[in-house]
Amino acid sequence: MSVLSSVTHRLLTVNTVKIIQRSFLTCLLCLTCLLGLMVPPASATDLSPAPETAKAYIITPSNGETVKPPFTVQFGLSGMGIAPAGVDRPNTGHHHLLIDIDQLPSLTEPLQGSEQVLHYGAGQTETQLTLAPGEHTLQLVLGNYSHIPHDQPVLSEKITVTVE
Ligand SMILES: [Cu+2]
């Protein structure tokens, strides 16, 4: 009687544990699915594709040029169009000028504006710059409607200018 009771008890316990384990796994799966639905990766929604042929380039000044401040920097873009920030149109973006940047910022997040990262969100294709005398580097990176570089990023060559 007591042996039978003990066996029954053990069976019940084992079954209960199994049921709890199964419920826990089901819950975990549901939670994972829900979280996956609620928080899609930023890259899936915010990144914009760019044609492989797209190119950004600095028209003036040319690499190695000596310039007097203020000097004009002209932005070139081929294979894509310019659209102001906030306007989500395929194959478009706006220019950002990177000044004296050695390490590129994240190219999958919105570019943070600073003295070294200038936004041209109105769709400008040139600017006037005044920089301290000496050598400086300039590079363009296109950003999409929400200031995120494209996938693939559209980056110009980095040029060096000497400011008098
Ligand atoms: Cu921007």
Which of 126, 51, 118 lies closest to 81 in space, CA to CA?
A: 51
Q: What is the pLDDT of residue 23?
A: 54
Q: In the chain, which residue ranges form alpha helices assigned H by DSSP?
A: 2-38, 42-46
pLDDT, tens digit, 9 for 90 and up, residues 44-75 = 468 999 999 999 999 999 999 999 999 999 99
Residues 69 and 16 in one domain: no
163 Cα: distance to centroid of ligand 1 (angstroms): 26
Q: What is the mean pLDDT of the chain?
A: 83
Domain count, the chain: 2
Q: What is the pLDDT of residue 42?
A: 47
Cα three-residue angle 63-66-72, rounded to 5 degrees: 80
34 Cα: distance to centroid of ligand 1 (angstroms): 33
Q: What is the pLDDT of residue 18?
A: 52
66 Cα: distance to centroid of ligand 1 (angstroms): 28
CATH of the domain at 141: 2.60.40.10
Read off the tokens for 73: 């920097």
62 Cα: distance to centroid of ligand 1 (angstroms): 24
Residues 6 and 61 in one domain: no
Residues 136 and 97 in one domain: yes
7 Cα: distance to centroid of ligand 1 (angstroms): 71
Residues 54 and 29 in one domain: no
Positions in the chain whose pLDDT score sits under 70: 1-45
112 Cα: distance to centroid of ligand 1 (angstroms): 8
Which of 160, 95, 158, 84 lies closest to 126 in space, CA to CA?
A: 95
- The domain of 114 spans 46-163
